[in-house]
């Protein structure tokens, strides 16, 4: 029995959710290859999506092409009934080009690691209908770091591809692909982390306790403000964190929470649902928690509000999430709710 037949049998016997995660994993890695090709070309074709000129919202050729590739892989496997919410609004030319390059659906060996775990998927997640699922895509999380990496390649580690799957407004599975992981070492470059509720998280060795240097938080590198700083200071004063580090991308920040950071703190309304869907799913599968800054769950609705207007608080699996929530000053929480 050859390997391709094995994969075909696994696909045939797997439930919809497992198949969707497997294709998402493969799609994220294809997107990662596109991202690296665009960077290597040296021509990022940068545009600013924010027309008011107040805050930059950069988009590159990598964002556009990566999203087109992801969407076409998903559609070729599951058809147009699958609901996809992507960060980028793509010109028709991108969709047509992607269709020409990705006609038909082919199983890939990279999907086998997900398909092998199908029997571990909980019974209540095995009989989902495709109409009840939504896929949230951020084709290049950390665009600011990607652009600045032309002068500082170390920033590329913070770039991720995010594909999250939600059911009835809540994340149940997700993929975080880190195309430049280990870039500055002699090891294999790039890694893919994926998780399914009740099954676990794969592709990463999660930290089980505070590092010997003491607990630390990660926060925004490019969208800080007084409320963010106030929240971080409150956590420091209660000795819940010793320090905080400013890094880019929601996906990378959640990976930090899985590998040593106590929390990801963002007491502001700057990030969107596609920024947090995959990270929340992966973190939850590992035993961590992600909510708004007041401890309420985020609601992912295709036709609902895209902005996480009440902020984001994510904590590592070894952290008591409610303890961190209780220390965030009430006036910070109130201010975010009034703005939202």
| CA nearest neighbour of 238 among 314, 320, 331 | 320
Sort residue 118 into left (φ over 0), alpha (ψ -120 to 50) or beta: alpha
Angle at 304 between CA 298 and CA 306, to 5 degrees: 65
- Catalytic site residues? 63, 143
Residue 275 assigned to a binding site: yes
Beta-carbon contacts of 168 under 8 Å, excluding residues fewer than 6 positions away, are 132
Any idea which residue has 């009740």 for tokens? Answer: 198
Cα separation of 42 and 81, whole Å? 37
Cα separation of 270 and 188, whole Å? 33
Residue 6 assigned to a binding site: no
Residue 87 assigned to a binding site: yes
Q: Can you list the alpha helix ranges (DSSP code H) found in the chain?
A: 3-13, 16-41, 61-78, 92-101, 112-115, 143-148, 226-237, 250-258, 273-285, 321-327, 330-339
CA 340 to chain centre: 23
Residue 141 assigned to a binding site: yes
Q: Which residues are annotated as a binding site for Mg(2+)?
A: 87, 138, 140-141, 275
Q: Which residues are annotated as a binding site?
A: 87, 138, 140-141, 275
């Amino acid at each position: 029995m050859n390997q391709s037949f094995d994969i075909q049998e696994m696909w045939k016997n797997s439930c919809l959710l497992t198949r969707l995660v497997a294709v998402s994993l493969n799609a994220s890695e294809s997107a990662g290859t596109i991202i690296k090709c665009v960077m290597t070309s040296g021509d990022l074709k940068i545009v600013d999506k924010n027309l008011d000129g107040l805050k930059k919202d950069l988009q590159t050729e990598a964002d556009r092409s990566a999203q087109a590739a992801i969407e076409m892989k998903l559609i070729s496997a599951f058809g147009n009934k699958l609901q996809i919410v992507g960060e980028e609004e793509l010109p028709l030319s991108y969709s047509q080009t992607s269709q020409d390059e990705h006609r038909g659906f082919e199983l890939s060996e990279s999907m086998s690691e997900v398909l092998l775990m199908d029997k571990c998927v909980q019974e209540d997640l095995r009989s989902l209908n495709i109409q009840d699922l939504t896929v949230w895509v951020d084709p290049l999380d950390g665009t600011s770091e990607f652009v600045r990496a032309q002068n500082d390649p170390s920033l590329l580690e913070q770039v991720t591809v995010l594909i999250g799957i939600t059911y009835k407004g809540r994340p149940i599975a997700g993929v975080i692909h880190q195309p430049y992981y280990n870039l500055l070492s002699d090891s294999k470059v790039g890694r893919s982390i994926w998780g399914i509720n009740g099954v676990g998280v794969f592709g990463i060795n999660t930290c089980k306790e505070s590092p010997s240097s003491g607990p630390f938080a990660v926060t925004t590198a490019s969208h800080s403000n007084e409320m963010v700083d106030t929240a971080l200071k409150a956590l420091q004063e209660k000795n819940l964190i010793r320090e905080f580090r400013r890094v880019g991308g929601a996906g990378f920040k959640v990976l930090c929470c899985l590998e040593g950071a106590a929390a990801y703190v963002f007491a502001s309304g700057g990030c969107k649902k596609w920024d947090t869907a995959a990270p929340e799913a992966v973190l939850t599968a590992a035993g961590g928690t992600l909510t708004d800054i007041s401890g309420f769950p985020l609601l992912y609705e295709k036709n609902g509000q895209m902005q996480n207007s009440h902020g984001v608080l994510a904590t590592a699996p070894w952290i008591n999430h409610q303890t961190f929530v209780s220390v965030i000053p009430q006036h910070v929480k109130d201010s975010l709710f009034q703005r939202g």
